[in-house]
A and B are shown apart, each in its own frame.
Chain A
Amino acid sequence: MKPASSEVFQLGLRLTELDEVALESLELREIARPLLLRLAYDLGETVHMAIVESGRAVYVEKVDMPNMIRIYSAVGRTVPLHCTGAGKALLAFSPSAFQEAIIAQGLLAAAVGSRAGTYRSPPLRARGVGVVTGASPPAVDVDELAAELLAAEAGRAPVEPLSARHPGLDVASAYRVQGEVIRRRLGSGDRLRGPGVDAAALLAATRHVVPSLEIIDSRIVDWRIALVDTVADKRLLGDGRDR
């Protein structure tokens, strides 16, 4: 970052490539920190400072307020512009050509109020406030991630961690991605699907039946288990590791 004049600053660094050490030395943060703190205490809310980098918002500083709704964010993390508070504010004050370019990329379904019209500049800039309802991280595109993983598998080319690139990827969405990957791998050809499958249809689709013993292993005493006990206790899986 180079001072262009006494009060105007020009960003001259590729911030996405900065590690924490580099960020620590960033003058912008030192200057902004007292202002961010005052904002946070005045508002009683978490405050982020972000810049635009490669079409995304990069958090460069954050002040967390205790006892407030925790926001899933971290300095150095990049998030989409169109569905984050900081991103919307940055978009609102960007040239309209840039706004249209972001919109043209396609907007991932995310936080409420992320439709194109809500952050094209005039209304938002006039109001001076960008609002993201709720504190949810942006939703992930399950189909996109599944396709990426399958392509990585097919091309034997590992990809960067999804977690680093998709802050909204929580465990539940990761399972949805996994499900989609499996679904695409297996194909939906001759799978037996409901609704309306009865015992006769089920038997007609069965190749053979075989006697089996299930080895179970419970951490709960005396077999007094409810459904949630079973689920929490990894479905009574007897994997031979517990002796």
Chain B
Amino acid sequence: MVVIGDTEAPPGGVDLGEGLRVTLLRNGEEVSAGTGAAVLGHPAKAVAWLVNKLAEYGEGIGPGELVMPGAVSAPTAQLSPGDEVSAVCDGLGSVSVRFR
């Protein structure tokens, strides 16, 4: 399951690699952090790898498809009911989810 933020940024306008700092918060406290470089050096490199790998199966990626390039941090602590988890991506916006 994926929670998608509502801030859509053009890919050219922001550094998605070393310059993209992502902080993961649980109930407002930082639990981990990382940069886009954690995803095979750069998320675009990871997805480019995927596209080239898919070519071996005669596949590709198409319009409207959402691709998860990989996470910038390892999983956080286990979740409990009532927890709110947010990711703040510098220059890109944030996303959060609350569990019942």
The residues of A with any CB-CB pair to B shorter than 8 Å are 179, 183, 186, 188, 190-203, 206-216, 223, 237-240
Q: How far is the CB of B15 from chain A (nearest CB, A)?
A: 11
Residues of B within 8 A of A223 (CB): 74-75
In-complex Cβ contact of B2 among A183, A202, A203, A215 (8 A): A215
B62 x A214 contact (CB < 8 A): no
Known: A203-B44, A211-B92. A194 touches B11 (CB 8 A): no
User: Closest 5 A-B residue pairs measured CB to CB?
Assistant: A194-B55, A194-B52, A193-B60, A199-B44, A208-B8
B60 x A210 contact (CB < 8 A): no
Chain B, interface SS category: mixed
Residues of B within 8 A of A214 (CB): 1-3, 68, 71
Q: Residue among A179, A190, A197, A209 with the most chain B CB within 10 A?
A: A209
Known: A192-B61, A211-B89, A237-B1. A206 touches B52 (CB 8 A): no
Q: How far is the CB of B72 from chain A (nearest CB, A)?
A: 10
Residues of A within 8 A of B8 (CB): 208-210
Complex Cα–Cα for A215 and B87 (A): 12
Size range of the chain B interface in the assembly: 35 or more
Complex Cα–Cα for A195 and B93 (A): 32
B4 x A209 contact (CB < 8 A): no
Residues of A within 8 A of B55 (CB): 193-195
Please name 26 pairs of A and B residues whose Cβ atoms are closer than 8 Å in the assembled complex, sorted by A. Answer: A179-B59, A183-B59, A190-B63, A191-B63, A192-B61, A193-B60, A194-B51, A197-B52, A200-B44, A203-B11, A208-B10, A209-B16, A210-B4, A210-B9, A211-B5, A211-B7, A211-B87, A211-B92, A211-B93, A213-B87, A213-B96, A214-B2, A215-B97, A223-B74, A238-B1, A239-B1
